[in-house]
Amino acid sequence: MKTWFITGASRGFGALIMEAALASDSVAATARDPSSIADHPRLLKLPLDVTNEGQARDAVARAIEKFGRIDVLVNNAGYGLLGAVEEASAIEVERVFATNVFGLLNVTRAVLPYMRSRRSGHIINMSSIGGYASSPGWGVYCATKFAVEGVSEALSIELAPLGIHATVVEPGYFRTDFSQCPVLEQHRRENRRLCRHRGKDAYLRRGRESSTARRSTATGASDRAACSGTQAADTSRARQRYGRAHRGEASRRGARARSLAPGVLVDFRSVA
């Protein structure tokens, strides 16, 4: 039986991965507010703001005290920033990097000493399709995921001699509650206001049509993606990446994402 340490476990992929892991393993589930996470005999709920390095060390120490080990770290905590690169303020950019990149590093640094002492473990970093193909409106968010890709590649090489695996997972578009993040909501409203103010009604209509076209996402896709997250922890067939397309396919996906950018800017909830 393994012990998982999952950040951002109160919603989205984090909650789904936690549920899948609890079927057979123990889980330390963290979130800014873990009160919404249901109780389970093999579950330890911990409050954690990943931008607070001291809090990350404390949460990891409590998980070790409870379970004695951490076999799998899932760095899932993060949020999106929707808007043109020029429109994103310095403080908004700093905050999203603080969570998506520096927060991931805080938790990783807290967990690695325990994995090194056992010379085993698996770090799973949740990236995105935006980690290898950016698109209009998502420049800053994709920049954070590009950073996660670079960190994950280096970790995979650095940790291999120590018996520790590192994997980056790159989901595409799934029906989770990612779009309900307050910051993302704020930016979507602002983009609508700017488009109307500039008289871009046709732009808005195209966005709605593109969003409607994306609603064919298969039921249960998010659950299958969560299963992929748990499968990534199988060290007997560990891979550096899950979800990355071949170069040609990546280019086609990038072009498709850019062609649908208005839909993403105007109404992301319908396609997420």
- Please confirm, yes or no, whether 145 is among the known catalytic residues: yes
The closest alpha carbon to 128, from 245, 247, 27, 49, belongs to 245
Dist CA 241 CA 44 (whole Å)? 28
From the candidates 2, 128, 132, 141, give the one annotated as an active-site residue. 141
The closest alpha carbon to 189, from 93, 86, 265, belongs to 265
Dist CA 119 CA 129 (whole Å)? 31
From the candidates 127, 152, 156, 210, give the one annotated as an active-site residue. 127
From the candidates 145, 152, 210, 270, give the one annotated as an active-site residue. 145
* DSSP characters over 45-108: EEE--TT-HHHHHHHHHHHHHHHS---EEEE-------S-GGGS-HHHHHHHHIIIIIIHHHHH
**Which H helix or E strand runs over 191?**
helix 182-197
- Please confirm, yes or no, whether 127 is among the known catalytic residues: yes
Q: Do 26 and 46 meet the contact criterion of CB atoms below 8 Å apart?
A: no
Q: What b/e sequence results for 102-138 when a residue is b if at least 16 CB atoms lie within 10 Å of its CB, and e otherwise?
A: ebbbbbbebbbebbeeeeebbbbbbbbbbbbbbbebb
The token duo for 3 is 């012990």
Which residues have a catalytic role annotated? 127, 141, 145
